[in-house]
Chains A and B, each alone.
Chain A
Amino acid sequence: GEDVEQSLFLSVREGDSSVINCTYTDSSSTYLYWYKQEPGAGLQLLTYIFSNMDMKQDQRLTVLLNKKDKHLSLRIADTQTGDSAIYFCAQGTGRRALTFGSGTRLQVQP
């Protein structure tokens, strides 16, 4: 199957780090993605990682990939209230459309 699983909800305090986790099933996934959905808006690509990488850092975002366990995480450093949104993990093989998880709602408490 092509399931992607995420926890549904995460609450953190402003200034703390957030870690959103994802597990995927398709071992042939070539790229793994994190998308962000703000209220009333469509999804927007945050970052992606190629499957032969372990880590990717982009300003406050750090993506970690454990290919053996098929586990992907997104760490947001110094989380701000503007980071409150739903975060979707997605996997892609380049041959099929992206498969998305159900999304993790991140709530940032001031």
Chain B
Amino acid sequence: DSGVTQTPKHLITATGQRVTLRCSPRSGDLSVYWYQQSLDQGLQFLIQYYNGEERAKGNILERFSAQQFPDLHSELNLSSLELGDSALYFCASSFGRQVSTGELFFGEGSRLTVL
């Protein structure tokens, strides 16, 4: 158990809909990262928050947004969903702003299926 909690574990929805994925980081960790794992594109970095502020942005679509709340949990909002958004979305956390020898702790992921 990494200490990172993601909900929901599975989600099935239709094209055009909007969903929210939730992540609670490991106790004491200030950074939250979102990654998308799909069959054809591997593990893609989406966005990082550190202590409530956006720290780094990766390949995140404009239809997607995220935030980190004062209690450090984070939400990833996916809107106008398309079939290609079907993937496993991982949240990871770490203590500091950047990862060096410190590891990323991953949640078990939220599997999104768009029909």
Contact = CB atoms under 8 A, between A and B. Distances in A.
A32 to B, nearest CB: 11
A45 B103 contact: yes
Given A42-B90, A94-B99, A97-B99, A102 B43 contact: yes
B85 interface: no
Nearest to A33: B103
Nearest to B42: A102
Given A44-B106, A98-B104, A100-B35, A92 B43 contact: no
Contacts of A41: 108
A42 B108 contact: yes
A92 B99 CA distance: 7
Interface residues of B, number: 23
Q: Is the interface of B mostly helix, strand, loop or mixed?
A: loop
Interface in B1-53: 2, 4, 33, 35, 41-43, 45, 48
Interface residues of A, number: 23
Interface string B87-114: 0001010000011110110111100000
Contact of B90 (A33, A43, A97): A43
Contacts of A50: 101
Given A42-B109, A44-B2, A100-B35, A94 B98 contact: yes
The 5 closest A-B pairs by CB, nearest first: A42-B106, A102-B42, A45-B103, A100-B43, A43-B106
Interface of B: 2, 4, 33, 35, 41-43, 45, 48, 56, 58, 90, 92, 98-101, 103-104, 106-109
